[in-house]
Amino acid sequence: MNGSKHGLYEELKRQILTLELEPDDVLDEASLSEQFGLSRTPVREVFRRLEGEGYVDIRANRGARVAPMNHHALRHFYLVAPMVYSAIGRLAVQNFKPRQLADLRETQERFRQAHLEDDPLALVLENNRFHEIIGEMSANTYLLPSLKRLLIDHARVGYTFFRPRDDEMRTRLITAVEHHDAFIEAIASHREDAVVELVFAHWELSRGNLGMFVAANAIEADFGNEGSAVFMEKAS
């Protein structure tokens, strides 16, 4: 495959977000160089860019690996994410630009279409972009890097959610689509409190995915409504 640095960058991001490359997988520099028709230097530059954004870890004498998702990291993710998302939401209401709102609406239509077509790959990518745009609306140079790092793990956990296996999961996915519509309208009408309420309602949909991500089917039934939180406390 002939490609470019940008092409390699986008492809690795896609594979990481959709778990085609799993947490802690080794990135084969030689293979990627050959696949994309690039020398080792630009491949390493892409690795370093992805490391700076939180997708990849580069360790001395061990090369580049996909960022891990161990229990310790996930616990911090679930503790911090609601705080970051709510702060981002408030700032988005205060600072958004009309072009960004138009981009958000367009992304939501692609997300809705992906839901109608039962396309989990498009769902995870468009959902990631939807929340990334809200981050861009916040125009905060301190929070935006944190949001982008959170969205990586949110996408990886959420990929289970976007491949519903039963009616309950399908209903929750419909709710996620409805939440996105409500986010757009609350931001457009400058209702900060409504956005924050939506953040926590939307977060509850995501929080339930932890059990599906870290546990085998046989023990998922042992998790009640607070099962994920209990599991994370035990793992800490």
What are the structural domains, with CATH classification, of the chain? 5-66 (1.10.10.10), 71-235 (1.20.120.530)
Closest CA to 235 of 78, 69, 72, 23: 72
What span, in angstroms and rounded, lies between the C-alpha atoms of 170 and 24? 30
User: If you compute the radius of gyration of the chain from its CA atoms, what whole number of angstroms results?
Assistant: 18
Entry pTM = 0.80
Q: How many CB atoms lie within 10 A of CB 68?
A: 14
User: Mean pLDDT, to the nearest integer, of 170-193?
Assistant: 95
Q: What 3-state class would DSSP assign to 196?
A: helix
Q: Write down the pLDDT at residue 226.
A: 45
DSSP character for 24? T
Beta bridge partners of 64: 58
pLDDT at residue number 213? 57
Sign of CA dihedral 110, 114, 119, 123: positive
| Structure-derived torsion over alpha carbons of residues 1, 57, 88, 133, reported in degrees to the nearest 10 | 0
d(CA 199, CA 78): 13
pLDDT in tens, 193-236: 999 999 999 988 877 665 555 554 433 444 344 444 443 444 44
Question: Average pLDDT for residues 139-149, to the nearest whole number?
Answer: 94
The predicted-structure confidence for 67-115, as pLDDT tens digits, reads as follows 988 788 888 888 899 999 999 999 999 999 999 999 999 999 999 999 9
Neighbours of 103 (CB within 10 A): 17
* CA 44 to chain CA centroid, nearest Å: 24
Judge whether 36 and 7 are in contact, CB under 8 Å.
yes
